[in-house]
Structure 1
């Protein structure tokens, strides 16, 4: 070959970074494992608690709304965690990949809406014209509303973290010699894959392909981000639908009859757009996102359609990682 093994390993490492998989790199994974030590995590937790206390206390001092203070504390506690992840845990490649994935996911909006939106509309529209839903959502303060939205998001993430590792079992299984060569085609280690497949039998290759520890966490994170972006796109579509539908179909007299008080305009230029309508639309859009999350990982047809291309990419990444490990053995 024209290049030495170390040069090809470096090319593979750059290839991993470009796909949001920095923990597939041996040196990065070793450094991160050290920086996730118990003592450092305790210090990081303490710093996050200080940020939360300061932000929550300051917000409570300037604003009497306790829910806003709680929301500010929750958001502030994330700041040091994100900063540490980006700087010390090499999350930069994941963040860059996520930004690129966000723009590329816009192309999924139309097929996503045409497949998932009708099912959600049948289920959620009845809630939208329900008096009790309007009474509950419109009575929420802004802080409480966004805490509820974050709660829906956390429940959805927790559900995904339980189910997504099951999807990974399909990625690293069946990495035989032929599968390895096919997975690495068009990658920096395509030629090395042929040598690796010839050197080891299928049982060894399948064992080497198994992903665990930080590398598996990296794959789960990639799946989580991809699914979260789809849920976000659908939730935004639902929010826009409810806002437009509410402006057209639900007038001020109906809202007054439901709530007992006249609605408050959100924009003076658009009288039909009220604070109550925005709150209800936000609440139901967040709930729709949670519902869609459960549906997305449970419906086999949806998983085949929308997970198919992503799973092929992950299968290729696992194949390149297998060859990368073979190069490390010389």
Structure 2
């Protein structure tokens, strides 16, 4: 198999959220790290512009408020769009210089230019440079390990599975709202949430998020075992004829397909993570719906005097990146607490809902079966049956090569 076709297979696995299906360690090239570099550089420039707009003081706050809101919306949207553009640009271009130049420029913007502009407004240049270097290194490392492709696929699949989310929301949301609205109107809940400081509140959020992820991982593990143990369904094989975005030559001999290869532990973990992240993303979307509902309901039904009576202090106006919103921090924190509880409730309810399983897990199971079929053909070309890999003679030596079994060193001695 040529290098071009092998890269086509690897890009297809990345788009499917299965980076561990590729063989060997992929090089840390500029093309692989360009999307996160573009994301963080765009974020830094827009956040610097937002800080500059807030330097005008209270007198300039009202005239600049629409512009601040515009920059805030751009801060939440443009970095993702820029990273997506960079990823598509990499796939379409044949130049090797353009990704390198773009990566260097994005790194310079994130590490040097943005901290320098912040230093002009009174911030510490050294601390900003250190923080941006750390953030850039973490993003590049995660993308190199394949986490970036897995997260990107989970977001795309979570948004694509709107039917399953809509059906589950229609059944789970009324029941949860009916049970939690009494807690939302209880003074004790507001007192407990308002008494939490920043670190304890985020610790509570982390515990609830881990609980939801644990439920999703448990369900996904059982689904993974069924997918790996079952044979390829006809739907997966038939889908190859209609799959437009796939490598060429997946089934070279008509209906024949290569023999099944055992799924490694790393690949099993990748499948579980793929299923769990897709479900967790839908749980997050469900919790966002609950959060918006309780914020709107609280603004309409609970006044500031009632919040002051319940919490024992004057409500503070919430700010997002220095911009005031129309709700108090106490209302936002209480709504966020109930939203995180709803995320756990959603993740636990999906295990006992057959309609959600049919609408959500069945398409994912067919998709993973298709990916396993492509993987077998990919491995048959990279590692033909009857071959073994030579181990490296020394650390940092040349990459392992594939040799026929009858040509391995010591084969004749073992036969004698």
1:235 aligns with 2:284: no
Structure 1 residues 329 and 183, CA, compared in 2 at 3 Å: closer, same or farther? Answer: farther
8 Å CA contact retained: 1:196, 1:323: no
Is contact 2:15-2:149 (8 Å) kept?
yes
Report if the CA contact (8 A) 2:233-2:366 is conserved.
no
What SS class does the counterpart of residue 26 from structure 1 fall into? coil
Aligned twin of 2:343: 289
Q: How does 1:76-95 map to 2 (within 5 A)?
A: 83-87=140-144, 89-95=145-151
Conserved? CA contact 1:183–1:320, under 8 Å = no
CA deviation string 1:146-198 (max 9, x = no partner): 2211121122223333331111123223325856633543343443374644x
Cα 1:263–1:112 shift into 2, 3 Å: same
Larger fraction in helix:
1
**Cα displacement (A) at 1:109:** 5.8
Moved more, 307-316 or 220-229: 307-316
Corresponding position: 1:128 with 2:180 = no
Structure 1 gaps of 5+ residues are: 32-75
Aligned residue-pair number: 273
1:198-225 CA distance string (max 9 Å, x none): x75xxxx4xx3x5331111111121122
Q: Give the one of 137, 141, 148 matched to 2:204.
A: 148
1:28 CA drift (Å): 3.8
Larger Rg: 2
**Cα gap change, 1:212/1:234 in structure 2, threshold over 3 Å: closer, same or farther?**
same
> What stretches of structure 2 of length at least 5 have no aligned partner?
29-132, 386-416
The equivalent residue for 2:251 is: 191
Q: 1:177 to 1:221 in 2, by over 3 A?
A: closer
Of 259, 267, 276, which residue of structure 1 is paired with 2:330?
A: 276
Partner of 1:308: 362
**SS of the counterpart of 2:231?**
coil
In the aligned structure 2, how far is the partner of 1:304 from the partner of 1:115? 15
Residue 18 of structure 2 is matched in structure 1 by: 21
Cα distance in 2 for partners of 1:137, 1:130 equals: 12
1:77-226 → structure 2 map (5 Å cutoff):
83-87=140-144, 89-98=145-154, 100-101=156-157, 104=160, 110-176=166-232, 178=234, 181-182=237-238, 184-185=240-241, 186=243, 187-188=246-247, 189-192=249-252, 194=254, 196-197=256-257, 205=260, 208=261, 210-226=262-278
Deviation at 1:135, TM superposition (A): 1.1
Structure-2-length-normalised TM-score: 0.56
SS where residue 251 of structure 2 aligns? helix
What is the CA–CA distance in structure 1 between the aligned matches of 2:236 and 2:366, rounded to whole Å? 12
Evaluate the alpha carbon distance shift between residue 174 and residue 7 of structure 1 in structure 2; reply closer, same or farther with a 3 A threshold: farther
What TM-score does the superposition give when structure 1 sets the normalisation length?
0.69
